[in-house]
Chains A and B, each alone.
Chain A
């Protein structure tokens, strides 16, 4: 085993910045990161053990203790709960005889929770040894557990046919469905890879940037920074090497569009990266892919290999002397915050995914302190279409402020969850009509995932766009029967608590404080003052370093803003103060141990 570890470390040239890859390989080989591996890594990478452990312990999918030969990660997103997760979870626990977070006594099977895995349109879903299982039911869980107990390989556990499109291809063989419901310029099936590369080699890099600027396209991850400007900043920054990152760490609960793009049109973002590389003068590109999508690895590597054969990657691309560009895949290991561009860079350098202080911005000082562009998968796809058809053409879609189209990941209480490509300017009302959700049955829509806003029916005429409802594309629909505070706000707040990097005091502490208040209200111990406190305390998060921290109170704040009556219904009207402290519960254990009944 020790030799295997030494071999893995050498494979990455004992390079400290490749620590993520080293850890992923060891975890794959041994099933966890044992002590002797930490010691070996520390020795070979000239760092202390505690320094190795700080990276290991940051990521959800790394473990310093054994997690079993079969590792089951059941998604705990709000939509998973809505689709029957409770029964599925209970069946797993019953059939395995263990609770979540535990191993079976023989050490063979581990059962864990995990944040949204990008399958919101086919929940409840789980990851078992890197393979995805969707649409789980108690019956299906029993079958899976039986197979595991018979020590069947996980690949042989699929009972249904494979998913649609490329999901069934030889290198994926997954039951995941694409659910592409509406196509547009990006999801155009007539896309011919390499055509845009042929175009750009006839242009100067500055002309490419000008065309992108002309299209007015803005970043599709959610923040909406103008892409052309980002490229220009990076081009003008000085550095002996420059890098292009494709951000495929879509972790915002309810988002799954990048998964669909990478399954059906993987050449599109890769071609976008090549274009970006040409424009800014970078020769290296990195696809930062969330670990949840590890099942796509072989397939994507194969696509890259074919691109090299066709000279869309490598040296003198498209016959242009000196136009060199290579792409490698960097996996994450389970951390939502790594979707933030500077945290993503930190992670790709083998460190904890903690966002950096800005300035300097990544375009000046990014990966390995070199100028770096980080673009969303969808942004890079759009860029290819801009090059093929022109910036003016692109502007004919959408609104003046929000040009082009947007891929929406729609899930929740509707008949047709899936991926829809629409023009910006689309209203929530139209969206509900499109996906088969009855307005009379719809209580709320979460726009932009937990970090976005919870919208009430009186605002369903609002439109999607940077000028109104800016979004990375996650839309979750909640029907009348949902308990918004318990099923949604509490779940989202738990998500932010779990996914905070812990570096800023504000984001590390405030979400748990808000959660306690919320639980107090849900437990019927709240008073009016508690609602006002939550609004005030939520504001403190604005002083956090990154977008995750700054928006971590949004589930609470936007639900109070738009659904205040739900809170007011639950608080005690006859009291102005309630500590929320339950004395009889607090002394219960002690009373039982001493057989005494407290006299309150």
Chain B
């Protein structure tokens, strides 16, 4: 049933397999749609809303919308980029993000997105919430000040029985990602590392591993986020 469909992004004709999510289909065509909560291989959730595009005139998230024949997608438009930039700023003011002191600086996707969208200072007032640093687990630190509530860890990190180690608690602007007090103790080194790697910001840190990779050699130190996709040489069938 693999069927190739034709669709367009900002007027550029693209090809992809029907049913692929727009974000992935765009990537294969060398077009970067910014994402934050999305992660390859993990079920998309459409939580951060940064991948918002206009599909046939309607605002939708590219990470959750399957591509179909004739779809017209607006991606790099002023209106949409303005929303994305605003969301990046909102995430900055919602928590306490002090980049220079953060272990994840340079590998942080929120920071990289802010650079990409030329965020100088957020337009919104900071809320300076009082949040906890949970270092009670043997392998990891959960730094709530930096959590952007993307649910990557919730969706991707499960124990050998398939049980969740991370989960939301509460709702609305009080929501936070908690760590299971029992399963957190049993976390393996591999899972702890996976959790840190999958966290787009510096909210999950493996103890004693924070600055393992020197600054200057980190992912976004030299190249902006998305440039790997945009520099892809696309071979069209």
Q: Is the CB of A505 within 8 A of B47?
A: yes
**CB under 8 Å from chain A, chain B span 140-174:** 148-149, 151, 159, 161, 163-174
Q: What is the bound-complex CA distance between A498 and B165, given in angstroms?
A: 26
Contacts of A53 in B (CB 8 A): 167, 169, 178
Q: Does B65 have its Cβ within 8 Å of any Cβ on chain A?
A: yes
Does B94 count as interface, using CB distance less than 8 angstroms? yes
Report the nearest B residue to A58, measured CB to CB. Answer: B171
Question: Which of A500-555 touch B at CB < 8 Å?
Answer: 500-506, 508-513, 516, 533, 537, 539-540, 542-545
Bound together, the chains give a CA A235 to CA B148 distance in angstroms of 40
Tell me, rounded to whole Å, the shortest Cβ–Cβ distance linking A369 to chain B.
Answer: 13
CB distance from B44 to the nearest CB of A (A): 7
Please tell me if the beta carbons of A57 and B165 are within 8 angstroms of each other in the complex. no
**Interface: A189 (CB within 8 A):** no
Binds B, one of A43-51, A175-183, A469-477: A43-51
Least CB distance from B183 to A in Å reads: 5
Summarize A's interface: helix, strand, loop or mixed. helix
Known contacts A50-B179, A51-B164; decide if A58 and B170 are in contact (CB<8 Å): yes
Please provide the chain A residues from 344 to 366 with a CB less than 8 Å away from any CB of chain B in the complex: 352, 357, 359
Does B105 sit at the interface, judged by CB under 8 A? no
Residues A505 and B87 in contact, CB atoms below 8 Å apart: yes
Does A224 interact with chain B (Cβ within 8 Å)? no
B115 proximal to A (CB < 8 A): no
Q: What separation, in Å, do the CA atoms of A500 and B170 have in the docked complex?
A: 10
* A360: nearest chain-B partner, CB-CB: B66
Q: Does A497 contact B (CB under 8 A)?
A: yes
Q: Which residues of B are found within 8 Å of A238, using beta-carbon distances? A: none
Across the interface, do B149 and A54 meet the contact criterion of CB distance under 8 Å? no
Q: Is the beta-carbon distance between A49 and B172 smaller than 8 angstroms?
A: no
How does the 8 Å CB contact mask read for B80-117 relative to A, with 1 for contact and 0 for none?
Answer: 00010011001101100000000000000000000000
Residues of A within 8 A of B159 (CB): 48
Asked if A48 contacts B180 (CB within 8 A), the reply is yes
| A21 interface hit (Cβ, 8 Å) | no
Q: Which residue of A lies closest to B178 (CB)?
A: A50
Candidate in A48, A53, A58, A580 with the most chain B CB atoms within 10 angstroms: A48
Chain A residue nearest to B43 in the complex (CB): A357
Instruction: Compute how far the CA of A568 lies from the CA of B123 in the bound complex, rounded to whole angstroms.
Output: 22
The 7 listed contacts between A and B (C-beta, < 8 Å) are A49-B181, A50-B165, A51-B164, A497-B172, A502-B173, A504-B46, A542-B83
Residues of B within 8 A of A (CB): 44-50, 52, 59, 61, 64-66, 83, 86-87, 90-91, 93-94, 123-125, 127, 148-149, 151, 159, 161, 163-175, 178-183
A residues with CB within 8 A of B: 46-51, 53-54, 57-58, 335, 352, 357, 359, 497-506, 508-513, 516, 533, 537, 539-540, 542-545, 580
